[in-house]
Amino acid sequence: MDLQNYTRESAVIPQLKCATLVEAVTTLVDRLAEAGVVKSASELVAEVMRREEEGSTVVGGGLVVPHARCRGLDEVHIALTTLDPPLELEAEDGEPVDIVMLLVGPERDPRQMLRVLARLARLVKDRAFLDRIREAGTASDLLAVFGEASDS
């Protein structure tokens, strides 16, 4: 599975400065909206945060994977940011969050999003993968990390 197929450079932001997870999600959703991926940024942000309230998507290792299904999408999209400074979110391991991987998928086809989530779940167990994301200085570098992960 080539993760680069699910994102675009305009939805990848290295070293974002924000004070809350809502700010990070809003920024990423806005990038998806600017690219024409989603029609209503405010609806999607509300749905992502509603889902986050049901149960935190902080997975540990400095990573949070907020996600939601959205009307009008035909395929899964990933938006990604590294944070500087990290956010202090509730994490079982106590590590601050410095990587946000936002996944949005089609409302009527949850299988697509589950496949991408499963691939990401395997990748993020590899601390070196997360460290390569942290070290990426540009959006192109971040996309290259996804490309390398697709080859493994």
HSE of 93, CA atoms in CB hemisphere, 13 A: 10
pTM exceeding 0.75 = yes
CATH of the domain at 107: 3.40.930.10
Q: Please count the structural domains in the chain.
A: 1
12-52: per-residue pLDDT in tens? Answer: 999 999 999 999 999 999 999 999 999 899 999 999 999 99
Quick one: pLDDT band at residue 80, thresholds 50, 70, 90?
very high
State residue 83's pLDDT score. Answer: 97
Nearest to 73 by CA among 29, 21, 9: 29
In one-letter notation, the amino acid at residue 75 is E
Residue 9: both structure tokens together: 């450079």
Residue 151 scores a pLDDT above 90: no
